[in-house]
Amino acid sequence: MPVQHDIPGPTDLRDDTKAGRLLIGSLMRAQLGLSLLCLMIALTVTVSFPLVAALVPAVGRMRVAGLPLTLIVLGFAFYPVFLAVGWFYYRQARQLEARFTDLVHPADRQRGD
């Protein structure tokens, strides 16, 4: 008869137990939520300026240094935003993985491994 324990650990993941599947499923749902959040931020930023330019024709006619404002924004201004979204995703994913590691290997995190 298998020994029951209260704290899920690496053996639950390795042996594919119910607790291990629950832990993995929880991590995957958190990662999916983070991915969808970052996707929505990126889509909102990407769609917002062309939408504003279409709804306010004066924005579409503006020029900066002889170039249309829409070209400047669509060609250059989105890159810092996408870098920020990528940085946010990276930091949040690392935190999710650290929390998962704390659940599975609590002693390793306390020692600083």
Q: Tell me, what's the pLDDT at 40?
A: 96
pTM of the model: 0.71
- Average the pLDDT over 17-29 and give the result: 83
State which residues form the domain around 77: 35-102
Does residue 60 lie in a domain region?
Answer: yes
**Domains contained in the chain, number:** 1
How many Cβ atoms are within 10 Å of 20's Cβ, its own excluded? 18
Does residue 68 form part of some domain? yes
Does residue 108 lie in a domain region? no
CB 93, CB 31: distance < 8 Å:
yes
Whether 69 is covered by a domain: the verdict is yes
Residue entry with tokens 């639950």: 12
Residue 51 domain-assigned?
A: yes
Is there a domain that residue 107 lies in? Answer: no
User: In sequence order, which residues have a C-beta less than 8 Å from that of residue 102 and are 6 or more positions away?
Assistant: 109
Rounded CA gap, 10 and 13, in Å?
5
Asked whether residue 16 is domain-assigned, the answer is no
Structure confidence by residue, pLDDT tens digits, 59-88: 888 898 898 888 888 888 888 989 999 999
